[in-house]
């Protein structure tokens, strides 16, 4: 059976050059690489994924760029990672997880060394540094999310704008005219994370179109920050009778505790919808109406699009998953013309 020494001898290069070409740790000249490719094919030397790619076969590996940042909400983040891995296994593929914050370097390394057949990006910002690289990659790439400029990209995600409109329609149908949005922490908007912006912008715009009064607050992660944000959206001057919570589970849980401690009931005194939530809102007290964010909906499709692209060259496009509404009895007709601030 051929070994790396045989490849080096036939290609007329050093063993280290063969190793660099196979691992991608360093670049080698195109002439040397071509001779290594020929030697690999002649000798049938296929030691690993990089070797198979040099010989023209698929590696059966997808790169998953999922950077872990300081403000990353780990439960939702890992739900999407798991959904991609599960979908990939249905095609007999594994994933190479890239979690470094400087994700562009990792993508460049694994694609230039031909270690992967395709790339999937998670947690993209509105102006993500990875997007310029993805547009130029020679391997199929799909973005889970929709950045500010999606031209030249294949993107798939929940339709967050439609979800915002759906939440408002449900509240208007129940008779609410003054509503509030409890959003993500300020850092998520400042970082440019795509989905908080998409939901908030659509919420504010559509509320205005429907002739509603709306308020918006960004809670922090501490109990005091959540109390401040709830007090802000329930300012008595606004007369808010319903709140849409588009934020992580711990913030929603704290907000519900604060509202309950104030002696207010849901939906008797205040209607609440949990929007685009990846967690189970039936375990809350009380259970909340929800527009669910199901990781598999977008991740299954993202992997399928990569697989399709391996067999062709589909045009870049954006696919949006339609939101659905699950009623659990947390909204009702408003019973008071105004809501007092919580004490």
| CA separation, residue 281 to residues 163, 242, 308, 318 (Å) | 16, 17, 35, 29
- Using only C-alpha atoms, the chain has a radius of gyration, in whole angstroms, of 25
Are the C-beta atoms of residues 47 and 33 closer than 8 Å to each other? no
Summarised one tens digit per residue, pLDDT across range 77-116 is 899 999 999 999 999 999 999 987 556 777 877 777 678 8
- Whether 196 is covered by a domain: the verdict is yes
Are the C-beta atoms of residues 330 and 170 closer than 8 Å to each other? no
Residues 309, 320: Cα–Cα separation, whole Å: 18
* pLDDT above 80: residue 268: yes
- Whether 35 is covered by a domain: the verdict is no
- Whether 93 is covered by a domain: the verdict is yes
- Tell me the residue range of the domain where 130 lies: 61-158+295-321
Residue 60: left if φ>0, alpha if ψ -120 to 50, beta else—which one?
left
Residues 4, 22: Cα–Cα separation, whole Å: 10
Are the C-beta atoms of residues 300 and 294 closer than 8 Å to each other? no
Residues 205 and 222 in one domain: yes
Residues 99 and 173 in one domain: no
Are the C-beta atoms of residues 175 and 333 closer than 8 Å to each other? yes
* Strand-strand pairing, 213-217 and 242-245: unpaired
- Whether 300 is covered by a domain: the verdict is yes
Average pLDDT over residues 217-222: 91
The per-residue pLDDT for 208 is: 97
- Whether 42 is covered by a domain: the verdict is no
Q: φ, ψ for residue 35 (rounded to 5)?
A: -70, -35
Residues 176 and 286 in one domain: yes
Average pLDDT over residues 236-250: 93
The per-residue pLDDT for 42 is: 83
* pLDDT above 80: residue 217: yes
Q: Binning pLDDT at 50, 70 and 90, where does residue 20 land?
A: confident
- DSSP 8-state symbol, 316: P
Residues 259 and 164 in one domain: yes
Q: φ, ψ for residue 305 (rounded to 5)?
A: -65, -35
The residues, ordered by sequence, that sit 6+ positions from 104 with a Cβ below 8 Å of its Cβ are 129, 130, 133
CATH number at residue 191: 3.40.50.2300
Q: Share the mean pLDDT of the chain.
A: 88
- Whether 326 is covered by a domain: the verdict is no
Residues 147 and 167 in one domain: no
Residues 306 and 286 in one domain: no
* pLDDT above 90: residue 137: no
Residues 139 and 220 in one domain: no
- With CA atoms as reference, report the closest residue to 272 among 245, 250, 291: 245
The per-residue pLDDT for 108 is: 79
The per-residue pLDDT for 315 is: 85
Lowest mean pLDDT among 21-35, 141-155, 320-334: 21-35
* pLDDT above 90: residue 5: no
The per-residue pLDDT for 136 is: 83
The per-residue pLDDT for 325 is: 98
Predicted TM-score of the model (pTM): 0.81
Average pLDDT over residues 290-318: 92
Residues 207 and 285 in one domain: yes
Summarised one tens digit per residue, pLDDT across range 29-84 is 888 888 888 888 788 775 555 554 554 567 899 999 988 776 777 888 899 999 99
The single residue listed with the structure tokens 């959540």 is: 226
- Whether 288 is covered by a domain: the verdict is yes
Residues 246, 272: Cα–Cα separation, whole Å: 11
Q: What is the dihedral of CA 153, 154, 157, 159, to 10 degrees?
A: 70
Residues 95 and 206 in one domain: no
Q: What is the dihedral of CA 222, 227, 230, 233, to 10 degrees?
A: -100
* pLDDT above 90: residue 262: no
* Strand-strand pairing, 242-245 and 271-277: parallel
Summarised one tens digit per residue, pLDDT across range 195-207 is 999 999 999 999 9
Residues 275 and 308 in one domain: no
Residues 145 and 183 in one domain: no
Summarised one tens digit per residue, pLDDT across range 205-216 is 999 999 999 999
Give me the number of domains the chain comprises.
2
Residues 151 and 87 in one domain: yes
Residues 139, 272: Cα–Cα separation, whole Å: 44
- Whether 20 is covered by a domain: the verdict is no
Q: Binning pLDDT at 50, 70 and 90, where does residue 338 land?
A: very low
The per-residue pLDDT for 7 is: 87
């Amino acid at each position: 059976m051929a070994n790396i020494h045989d490849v080096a001898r036939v290609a007329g290069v050093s063993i280290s050059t063969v190793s660099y070409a196979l691992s991608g740790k360093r670049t080698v000249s195109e002439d040397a690489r071509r001779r290594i490719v020929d030697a690999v094919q002649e000798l049938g030397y296929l030691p690993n994924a990089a070797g198979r790619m040099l010989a023209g076969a698929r590696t059966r590996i997808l790169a998953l760029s999922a950077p872990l940042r300081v403000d990353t909400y780990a439960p939702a983040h890992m739900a999407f990672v798991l959904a991609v891995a599960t979908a990939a296994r249905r095609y007999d593929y594994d994933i190479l997880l890239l979690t470094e914050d400087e994700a562009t370097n990792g993508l460049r390394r694994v694609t230039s060394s031909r270690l992967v057949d395709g790339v999937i990006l998670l947690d993209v910002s509105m102006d993500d540094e990875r997007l310029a690289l993805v547009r130029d990659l020679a391997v199929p790439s799909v973005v889970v999310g929709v950045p500010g400029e999606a031209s030249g990209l294949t993107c798939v995600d929940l339709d967050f704008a439609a979800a915002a409109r759906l939440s408002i329609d449900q509240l208007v149908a129940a008779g609410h005219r003054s509503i509030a949005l409890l959003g993500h922490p300020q850092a998520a908007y400042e970082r440019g994370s795509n989905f908080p912006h998409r939901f908030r912008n659509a919420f504010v715009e559509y509320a205005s179109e429907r002739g509603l009064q709306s308020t918006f607050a960004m809670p922090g992660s501490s109990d005091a920050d959540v109390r401040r944000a709830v007090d802000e959206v329930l300012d008595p001057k606004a007369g808010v009778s319903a709140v849409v919570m588009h934020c992580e589970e711990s913030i929603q849980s704290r907000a519900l505790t604060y509202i309950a401690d104030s002696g207010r009931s849901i939906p008797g005194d205040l209607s609440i919808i949990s929007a685009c939530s990846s967690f189970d809102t039936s375990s809350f007290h009380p259970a909340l109406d929800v527009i669910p964010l199901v990781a598999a909906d977008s991740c299954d499709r993202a992997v399928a699009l990569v697989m399709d692209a391996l067999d062709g060259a589909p045009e870049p496009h954006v696919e949006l998953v339609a939101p659905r509404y699950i009623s659990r009895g947390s909204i009702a007709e408003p019973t008071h013309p105004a809501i007092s601030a919580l004490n």
